[in-house]
Amino acid sequence: MALDPLAPLLQLHRPESGGAPLAGRTELYITPGFEFRRVDHLLTNFHLPRTTLLALVMAFAGVEETRRLYREAIEERYRFYSFGDAMLVL
């Protein structure tokens, strides 16, 4: 099951799909090292440690940059989780 609205979009544009519409569940996990081809910005919340959503952010922004952003968010007392603050990663 896709845990993020971005996952089906990314899977649809994988070379082996041929661009054809897909149906069913996905087992695509976006982790550091994933090559983003269609997405160049990410608007997201601050996620819990050890979650697939945090792995997606680390894949997009880089592990060290994400750690830096989270340290700053903690120092500035940002709110985490679904009803917390958001960040735009460019």
In angstroms, what is the C-alpha Rg of the chain?
14
Q: Structure pTM?
A: 0.69
22 is a domain residue: no
Choose the weakest-confidence range: 25-29, 59-63, 64-68, 80-84: 25-29
Q: Which tokens belong to 84?
A: 């917390």
Structural domain count of the chain: 1
Query: Could you list the residue range(s) of the whole structural domain that residue 36 is in?
Result: 30-89
Residues 48-63: tens digit of each pLDDT: 888 888 999 999 999 9
13 is a domain residue: no
Residues 32-52: tens digit of each pLDDT: 998 888 889 999 999 988 888
Helix (H) or strand (E) holding 89: strand 86-89
